[in-house]
Structure 1
Amino acid sequence: MLLLTCPCCGVTAEETEFSNGGEAHLKRFGPGSTDAEYEAYMFARKNPRGVHFERWRHAFGCGKWFLMARDTVTLEVYGAYKAQTTEPPADIVDKIKARRPEWEGYK
């Protein structure tokens, strides 16, 4: 069981108090986009083995969305940050690089 800390309200709880919302930092495409762009946005998602950036919602707490860096193999959580952030914070990226030197970087 994962213990997650919500960066919005600061509560640490079991993962069952949160809802996973899929991949983070997606470029959204809507009206005016090509069919290929919209199809890629709707259906193409990364499913990496290793570091992954995800959206989570504190469903049974403050109800806010946030983003998190997590290792899909070890389930290690590198950090969480507010959903309005466009790129992962430098301290989380540094922590990932220190623990996973083979990591090729964000994106």
Structure 2
Amino acid sequence: MLHIYCPHCDEHREEEEFRSKGEAHIARPPEPESASDEDWGNYLFFRKNPRGLHHEQWFHAVGCRKFFNVTRDTVSYEILETYKPGQQPVVTAESRNGSASDKGAAK
């Protein structure tokens, strides 16, 4: 069983308590009134589906009921870090050769 670290609860919890909610760090069109239909379509419907490192938004449905972000490898399903919304990921494609912190990594 996969254990995921919730940065709000400050503890590792079982995978069944969480729900994946899609890609993280999606920017809303800066001027919604003047955004084209194509801009809105891209914002609402089109998401990355990478092989490898991916930043996702998750929801702690059975625990604190708060959202947080996860950096996950889509090939191995390994969770490299978790962090609160508004924070930036430490693990990126450029820093991937480094190690993830124990606190945010899955056990």
Fold shared per TM-score above 0.5:
yes
Name the amino acid aligned to 1:45: R
Mapping for residues 1-107 of structure 1, pairs under 5 Å:
1-29=1-29, 31-32=32-33, 33-85=35-87, 87-89=88-90, 92-93=91-92, 96-98=96-98
Structure 1 contact 2–75 (Cα < 8 Å) conserved: no
Could you say if the C-alpha distance between residues 7 and 95 of structure 1 is closer, same or farther in structure 2, counting changes exceeding 3 Å?
farther
Could you say if the C-alpha distance between residues 12 and 95 of structure 1 is closer, same or farther in structure 2, counting changes exceeding 3 Å?
farther
The CA distance in 1 between the partners of 2:15 and 2:49, in whole Å, is 19
Could you say if the C-alpha distance between residues 82 and 75 of structure 1 is closer, same or farther in structure 2, counting changes exceeding 3 Å?
same
Report the number of matched residues.
96
| Long gaps (5+) in structure 2 | 100-107
Aligned partner of 2:102 in structure 1 is none
**Structure 1 vs Structure 2 CA RMSD:** 1.9
Relative to the length of structure 2, the TM-score reads: 0.80
Q: Which runs of 4+ in 1 moved over 2 A?
A: 92-99
The CA distance in 1 between the partners of 2:13 and 2:95, in whole Å, is 22
| Long gaps (5+) in structure 1 | 100-107
The CA distance in 2 between the partners of 1:2 and 1:38, in whole Å, is 36
Aligned partner of 1:103 in structure 2 is none
The CA distance in 2 between the partners of 1:76 and 1:18, in whole Å, is 15
Per-residue deviation, residues 4-36 of structure 1 (Å, max 9, x unmatched): 000111121121100111000001137312111
Name the amino acid aligned to 2:52: G
- Normalized per residue, which structure has more helix? 1
Q: Percent identity over the alignment?
A: 43
Deviation at 1:95, TM superposition (A): 5.8
The CA distance in 2 between the partners of 1:13 and 1:38, in whole Å, is 36
Deviation at 1:74, TM superposition (A): 0.7
Per-residue deviation, residues 47-67 of structure 1 (Å, max 9, x unmatched): 111000000011100111000
Deviation at 1:2, TM superposition (A): 2.4
